Amino acid sequence: MTRMEKKKLISGLLFISPWILGFLIFSVYPVLSSLYYSFCDYSVLSPAVWVGPENYHTLFNDEVFWKSISNTVFFAAFAIPMGMVLSLSLAILLNCKVPFRGAFRTIFFLPSLVPMVCLAVLWQWMLNGDLGLINNAIRPLLNTVNENFGTQLTAPNWLQEAAYAKWGLIFTGLWGVGHAVVIYLAGLQGVPQHLYESAEIDGAGFWVKTRHITLPIISPVIYFNTIMGLIGTFQVFAVPYVMTGGGDGPERSLLFMATYLYQNAFDYWNMGYACAIGIVMFVIILTLTYIATKLSERHVYYEGK
Amino acid sequence: MPLTRKLKTLLLCSLSVILISCGNSEKENGPVVIRYWEKWNGFEADAMRLIVDDFNASQDEIFVEYSSVSQIDRRLMLAIAGGIPPDVAGLWNHALPVYAENNALTPLNRYTEAAGIGREDYISIYWDMCTHRNYLWALPSTPASTALIYNKKMFREAGLDPERPPRSIAELEAYNAKLMKRDESGRLIACGHIPAEPGWWSPNWVYWFGGDLWDGAETITADSPENIEAYRWVQSYPERFGARDLMSFKDGFGNFASPQNPFFTGRVAMVLQGPWIYNFIKNYAPEDFEWGVAPFPSVNPELFPNVTLVESDILVIPAGAEHPDEAFAFIQFVNSQVEMEKLCLAQRKFSPLAETSAGFFEEHPNPYIGEFIDLAKSPQAKTLPGTTVWSLYANEMRQAFGSVWTQTATTEEVLSEVQIRMQENFDHRARRWKRMEETLLTEWEKP
């Protein structure tokens, strides 16, 4: 390395030093220290005491932790595909040349601007078993069914019954798909028009064009949204936390991994245990992302490659 | 190279700005400034402001900087861990054991002994809840006890004597049957009492059945026969009125601090509440709202008369506080009879001190304040368990309550699960304490 190069390197490093420092102090250090604390009995205020893998041992035998994992997986398994289908369909529709297209786009994007906490409070009332708008809409339907088929169906108490609580949360999440729609729209606009034109000449209809042109071309966008969705749903916290008033929901049906982590860290003074949960969460998300990447290798098409 | 020089200058400038802003802003020779964090806001915060102003005006050695802090228990924990705690903090009594055992507070014994303050100066239960492991960690600020609050108008309409509230759980349920109303479609529209409203103390119903949540030493008693009886009483509600009907009924309740509070709208006739209910009635209930106060009935009034759950706001000095002596001077000032009565009157509560002046009762707008004091002095007054696992325990008991309420499990099942889980947790904490005990006791003895 010449003197000039060295100088350039130093000034280059100096220029990016805010980022490097930030990364080291706010990302690397917390991750490493939480790895260390996950092997300690640590209550934040008392000094940490090394206990070896005890936290992990307790964790794997902790039914509540398994419940939080199964809740999280259930939520992800439905929220991600449903969100993807809905946002992609909306994006394709909003990409059509229809009058007031801009207005429609704005309307579908607006809900995702509502802050998480407001969203949770709003949907708490939407899903209210007695006065909620959802149940007000369902009741006449159920009454008609009951009259015609002699059934005894009643509208559910969404957030008070374990069987419905997670569905309530999934619907709440679908209301905020605006961000994904915008990303899909951007992807859709990058699809070369000449491909559609030549397909049309060959007599392709809407479905064929979508299946063989649109989806392959925007596959990197779908992949991106899937990974973001995966990370987002595995870290779901604010909305269920607000909806349940900081609790776990009926039968712990709204207890997610992040909620359990938070409770252990800040309510139960088990920071060591909370760190262990965090590490397990990290490993799960990392593994799933890796699997998603591997699986998508064959299906994601990058034009530049 | 000019670029490097510029960079150096920039770095130096920013460094000096950081250093200057970190510097101590306290004036020399001026009063010692102590920082006081309190959880209250609104009129309760204003009430404390009067006392702080009195203190600041009463002398010129110490100046209290008073701020209202939300989620104080978590912020205080982080502030102490970060080494920048306030000098005085207002906590809840249930947070005390976990703070004390984590060495996050300053023991007050030395201070109270020097100031001649003792247990005899207080309604004893409030002094006791400020102690943990034989050390005193706090002094009370505004206390509370809980009682049956009932809607006299609803009693009259149901043909019940509004001056004769129920005296046993059996009577409560007889009243309940008379007060329960459904509309034509069968939907519940009013009831006498449901144990899920407001649901703040669902783990603590056991007290009214002669039960307790731990033995005060090493054993959790979640599934004791008395506790099972209490939760069976809870279980009888969905059995009698239908789990779904109750859920839907409760879902229709508005917020506690609103005119839609079900107690104010005539949907629930009897609730377990503390003296603060006066403020909410005044602010949110209809003009013609008539109410009464009585001890919440127990299962056996002969054996367990005047059962009440007692709680208190407390003042602590966090460990590592910069000015603990000045902080205690302020706490002592708040705990003088004149100031304490002024504070509790402004917050519409009662004084935790053993002596209350006649003028306090004359001035107090709540005609039932005496009943709350009597309850606090009752031998059957109970506190939340003074253990470091309480927040987890409370959550477990609430889950158990929920399962029983929605009929997804039986009382015996859920309480034995809580018992196993909590005893394990309790033992874990006991081990943590054993590891730290010697070091901590030595440290707490230090002057």
Tell me the per-residue pLDDT of A36-73, one tens digit each, with 9 for 90 and over.
999 999 988 888 889 999 999 999 999 999 999 999 99
Are B194 and B250 in contact by the 8 Å Cβ rule? The answer is yes
List of residues 6+ apart from B407 with CB closer than 8 A: B235, B238, B239, B243
Dump pLDDT digits (tens) for A237-289.
Answer: 999 999 988 888 888 999 999 999 999 998 888 999 999 999 999 999 999 99
Are B267 and B253 in contact by the 8 Å Cβ rule? The answer is yes
The pLDDT score that the predictor gives to residue B17 is 53
SS3 (DSSP) at B102:
coil
Dump pLDDT digits (tens) for A107-151.
Answer: 999 988 989 899 999 999 999 888 889 999 999 999 999 999 988
The pLDDT score that the predictor gives to residue B318 is 96
Q: Answer whether residue B21 shows pLDDT above 80.
A: no
SS3 (DSSP) at B400:
helix
Q: Please, what's the b/e burial string for B272-285 (b: 16 or more CB within 10 A of its CB; e: otherwise)?
A: bbbbebbbbbeebb
The pLDDT score that the predictor gives to residue B6 is 62
Is the minimum CB–CB distance between B436 and chain A shorter than 8 Å? yes
Beta-carbon separation of A128 and B249 below 8 A = no
Q: Which of B404, B390, B368 is nearest to B195 (CA)?
A: B404
The pLDDT score that the predictor gives to residue B238 is 95
Q: In the A/B pair of chains, how many CB contacts fall below 8 A?
A: 76
The answer to whether the peptide bond before residue A18 is cis (omega within 30 degrees of 0) is: no
Q: How far apart are CA B276 and CA A213, in angstroms?
A: 66
Beta-carbon separation of B406 and A161 below 8 A = yes
The pLDDT score that the predictor gives to residue A150 is 86
Is the minimum CB–CB distance between B248 and chain A shorter than 8 Å? yes
Q: How far apart are CA B358 and CA B82, in angstroms?
A: 46
Q: Length of chain B in residues, anyone? A: 447
Is the CA virtual torsion B373, B377, B382, B383 positive or negative?
positive
CATH number for the domain running over B31-143+311-382: 3.40.190.10
Mean residue pLDDT across chain B: 92
Q: What is the mean pLDDT of residues B335-361?
A: 95
Chain-centroid distance of CA B46 in Å reads 19
Per mean pLDDT, which range of B12-26, B67-81, B411-425 is the poorest?
B12-26
Tell whether ipTM is more than 0.90: no
Is the minimum CB–CB distance between B82 and chain A shorter than 8 Å? no
% of chain A exceeding 70 in pLDDT = 99
The pLDDT score that the predictor gives to residue B7 is 59
Residue of A nearest to B105 (CA): A45
The pLDDT score that the predictor gives to residue B22 is 47
Is the minimum CB–CB distance between B392 and chain A shorter than 8 Å? yes
Dump pLDDT digits (tens) for B302-325.
Answer: 999 999 999 999 999 999 999 999
Categorize the per-residue pLDDT at B1 as very low, low, confident or very high, splitting at 50, 70 and 90.
very low
Region of residue B355 (left: phi > 0; alpha: psi -120 to 50; beta: else): beta
Dump pLDDT digits (tens) for B43-62.
Answer: 899 999 999 999 999 999 99
Dump pLDDT digits (tens) for B365-389.
Answer: 999 999 999 999 999 999 999 999 9
Dump pLDDT digits (tens) for A72-108.
Answer: 999 999 999 999 999 999 999 998 888 888 899 999 9
Q: What is the mean pLDDT of residues B410-421?
A: 95
Is the minimum CB–CB distance between B439 and chain A shorter than 8 Å? no
Q: How far apart are CA B176 and CA B158, in angstroms?
A: 10
Q: Answer whether residue B115 shows pLDDT above 50.
A: yes
The pLDDT score that the predictor gives to residue B252 is 84
Q: How far apart are CA B48 and CA B42, in angstroms?
A: 10
Say which residue, A301 or B39, is predicted with more confidence. Answer: B39
Is the minimum CB–CB distance between B12 and chain A shorter than 8 Å? no
Interface of A with B (CB under 8 A): 7, 11, 14, 41, 43-46, 49, 128-132, 154, 157, 160-162, 247-248, 250-252, 263, 266-269
Beta-carbon separation of B7 and A263 below 8 A = no
How many CB atoms within 10 Å of residue A100? 9
Per mean pLDDT, which range of A20-24, A127-131, B220-224 is the poorest?
A127-131
Name residue, tokens 């980022």: A19
Residue of A nearest to B75 (CA): A266
The pLDDT score that the predictor gives to residue B16 is 56
Dump pLDDT digits (tens) for B161-214.
Answer: 999 999 999 999 999 999 999 999 888 999 999 999 888 999 999 999 999 999
User: For chain B, how long is the longest CA-to-CA vector?
Assistant: 95
Question: Domain-by-domain residue ranges, chain B?
Answer: 31-143+311-382, 147-309+387-430
Distances (CA, A) of B157 to B174, B192, B213, B269: 15, 12, 38, 11
Chain B nearest C-alpha distance from A44 (Å): 6
Beta-carbon separation of A268 and B403 below 8 A = no
The pLDDT score that the predictor gives to residue B117 is 96
Half-sphere exposure of B268 (CA within 13 A, CB side): 24
Q: Which of B74, B103, B248 has the CB atom closest to A157's CB atom?
A: B248
Task: Return the CATH architecture of domain B147-309+387-430.
Answer: 3-Layer(aba) Sandwich (3.40)
Q: Answer whether residue B13 shows pLDDT above 70.
A: no
The pLDDT score that the predictor gives to residue A302 is 80
Is the minimum CB–CB distance between B120 and chain A shorter than 8 Å? no
Distances (CA, A) of B248 to B182, B253, B262, B446: 12, 9, 13, 57
Domains within chain A, CATH numbers bracketed: 63-296 (1.10.3720.10)
Q: Which residues of A touch B256 (CB under 8 A)?
A: none
The pLDDT score that the predictor gives to residue B223 is 96
Say which residue, B394 or B18, is predicted with more confidence. Answer: B394
Q: Do domains B31-143+311-382 and B147-309+387-430 have the same CATH topology?
A: yes
Chain A nearest C-alpha distance from B50 (Å): 32
Q: What is the mean pLDDT of residues B76-82?
A: 92
Half-sphere exposure of A217 (CA within 13 A, CB side): 19
Q: How far apart are CA A186 and CA A206, in angstroms?
A: 19
Beta-carbon separation of B408 and A251 below 8 A = yes
Q: What is the mean pLDDT of residues B95-115?
A: 95
Name residue, tokens 């809409």: A137
Q: How far apart are CA A126 and CA B315, in angstroms?
A: 41
Q: What is the mean pLDDT of residues B393-420?
A: 94
> A63-95 vs A219-234: helix axis angle to the nearest 10?
150
Backbone angles phi, psi at B345, to 5 degrees: -65, -45
Q: Which regions of B319-387 does DSSP assign to beta strands (E)?
A: 381-382
The pLDDT score that the predictor gives to residue B28 is 62
Q: How far apart are CA A204 and CA A219, in angstroms?
A: 20
Q: Answer whether residue A10 shows pLDDT above 80.
A: yes
Beta-carbon separation of A269 and B388 below 8 A = yes
Q: Which of A49, A157, A162 has the CB atom closest to B251's CB atom?
A: A157
Q: How far apart are CA A47 and CA B244, in angstroms?
A: 48
Q: What is the mean pLDDT of residues A168-175?
A: 92
Beta-carbon separation of B252 and A267 below 8 A = no
The pLDDT score that the predictor gives to residue B25 is 45
Residue of B nearest to A128 (CA): B251
Say which residue, B11 or B198, is predicted with more confidence. Answer: B198
Chain A nearest C-alpha distance from B179 (Å): 20
Q: How far apart are CA B94 and CA A183, in angstroms?
A: 48
Beta-carbon separation of A45 and B81 below 8 A = yes
